Structure 1
């Protein structure tokens, strides 16, 4: 009997196991997870720490997954080594399990900067495993410092400010969401967060945490802040240890290098999800973008190839589409930022359009800001801010045009009626601006 072993029960691993079993119903598919649960939703953690029910982050329990998917699930079991075609297990289930195909979907883990005081009581790291502890600590706190201004930092600020906490967000860069937003767009978010009661300390680095057993103060290179609790939202790093033991190699991003079939070196070994690199659609370079949307699809591709024992599916280049929110402001991004382009020596033309999310004569019209980046005649990035969840749909549409000639934005197809969109879509306006600036006398666009 062919055996497929999947290590990691998150988005990529659970999808891979399900897909492999569906394509190879006579295979033995074993899903190994070090924790207590599988198929969890880490993107919901900030909201589960807030007022969302904790159970919302659990999508399946072990018995339900085994019964519905036909996959053997080993919880509280760690895969600690790979010896030939055997995975060594420790924990609730020890010993070895042999495989014909191995899918490593070990995800990523929080990265905490090595500063003094991180072990004090009252310090929170928002993860699936820490939800209850975080809820208890933050429920008693009046003043909370969030270290890090990425997705989780902004979302934790949203949750805690809404709960009436005094929130100080400390970010080492000069803006929130520095990896995905340019300064001008990030400034819109920063101003709105400040108006929502969040004190932003940008461009400051944490030096140490102070307190007699419990954290009472955050000291940075620019100030001192009295607190009752601290939330570390300083990003994640890929879990690559098992993949290295299986013979895989790291790429330039620090994640595992894979080919388009998600193979990682030795025959029959695949790496998927946050542990693996991918190829960026604009640059053609290896990229590491730890998002659940990509993890799910990488799991599907790896599960397809492992289940069929061949190269049936490929994972294509990606553009890095993402969206988040603070209160009722939604912020999305796809492709490169101006800083990304500058590091690569790319000349960029930026187009900023202020538009409405529907016809201006409709009630409750909301403004949106769209910033598009064009280089070499191609759309290489877009950032969108607005007071509507439709921002996410705009980012999704933009992702389809990343890497394409900019004039195609002018011909973008979209549905229209006064209550759903403006007749002149912001993307069409961007395309029109591009054509206006680069139109040649002979009637052809300078692309």
Structure 2
């Protein structure tokens, strides 16, 4: 009786643990099941129903369709391609995972409730016999799996951007073995997307799968067939790129269809703005709040407006620098779409600290002021009376109020003004441009 009770307790604990695990997976799945995911799936279904000038199977323009060149084969492992919903929503010809569908893989959309539930149930049937192709920290080399008593019976391929694949991998059961390939290179088959920086050597989904088949020691004929299919797939892509090395899109025009060149598709993740643009944003982030602070300090500290006399009024240049320039930069703020946020405030604080250091060097080197000042000999004149390093306690107080109060207040104020500007901006011109690009991309590649 005691044995039965203990056994029953173990079974109850296992059922509870299993229920908790399923609950966690459902919660993780719900994070993908967003309105955006539903919209992407609807876009993909609409594309399948009305593909227009594109092939619904290979996602190429029908002129460059490669379906007929695909080999007919039955792979030993059951292959599942888990697409991030954004990839299906775009159904771009630069996507290589669609090749695996042409070779008989099953398709699942991450973020589609029915697909998520069906996939999780399918994977629970054979956890030990499933391998997820993803280079996680605990991933085993695919060659090591080939040496096991039983190679994986099911392969899960994740398709999406790097950040998207990481999230999908975290969603999948951690008990599922992960594997990684070691022989895949971009030089072997080429690539349809470019990556920057440290990711420049990344291979795409189909190339990784071809290497996986080779490292798992699948039937040599099947491995060769996959390689031939990928080569044909890439050849059709290169043909569509054209001699200029750029993708083309088809645009329906009165009197026929025109080919338009578009930029070679690049992976957006981790991409950075060009250096001149980054420099422009940094300068803008400095000029806007500093022009405001310069005006405020000038009319409250340097020349208090409430106590100013007619003879103390600044000349035109002083008035321009400490008032008109701020109005001009404020107009540019509301007439442009240059971004500004609290994150950009770091540039302002860095400038404030640098100027404080400069005033201290001015004091130490006894540079003084050419016109002299009251209370000090010419070489010891402070650059500003409020930054008089002869009185370090006063400088400390001013520095705290400036860097700790005035600067953050200005940064928050400008962030709010930019938010107000953007909320009032209908961006009709941008939407029109996006519609043109979207129509081109729908006929893309």
> Which bracket does the TM-score occupy, shorter chain normalised?
under 0.3
Q: Which has the higher strand share?
A: 1
TM-score for both structures, normalised by structure 2:
0.23
TM-score for both structures, normalised by structure 1:
0.23
Q: Which has the larger radius of gyration?
A: 2
